[in-house]
């Protein structure tokens, strides 16, 4: 499951969020603003284990087969 870094446009708080597929609503944990910017994060994209796939969560896509 990818992890993204966000920065709140309202109060400047930076935070990380697990992103579930289909869930687009990310809010600032401090001020609950929905105006957040997504930053690039290498952490969630570097998962290269044979049992974990960031695309399909394991064994069902061309990336991890």
Chain residues that interact with Zn ion, rule: CB under 5 A: 8, 10-11, 13, 28, 30-31, 33
Could you tell me the smallest distance in angstroms from the CB atom of residue 60 to Zn ion? 36
Rounded to whole angstroms, the Cα distance separating 19 from 8 reads: 16
Could you tell me the smallest distance in angstroms from the CB atom of residue 20 to Zn ion? 21
Q: Which of residues 36 and 64 has its CB atom nearest to Zn ion in the complex?
A: 36
Could you tell me the smallest distance in angstroms from the CB atom of residue 33 to Zn ion? 5
Rounded to whole angstroms, the Cα distance separating 32 from 19 reads: 17
Instruction: Enter the tokens of residue 23.
Output: 């869930």
Rounded to whole angstroms, the Cα distance separating 65 from 63 reads: 6
């Amino acid at each position: 499951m990818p992890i993204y870094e966000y920065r709140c446009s309202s109060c400047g708080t930076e935070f990380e969020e697990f992103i579930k597929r289909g869930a687009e609503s990310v809010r600032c944990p401090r001020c609950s603003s929905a105006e957040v910017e997504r930053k690039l994060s290498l952490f969630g994209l570097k998962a290269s284990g044979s049992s974990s796939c960031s695309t399909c969560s394991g064994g069902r896509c061309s990336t991890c087969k």
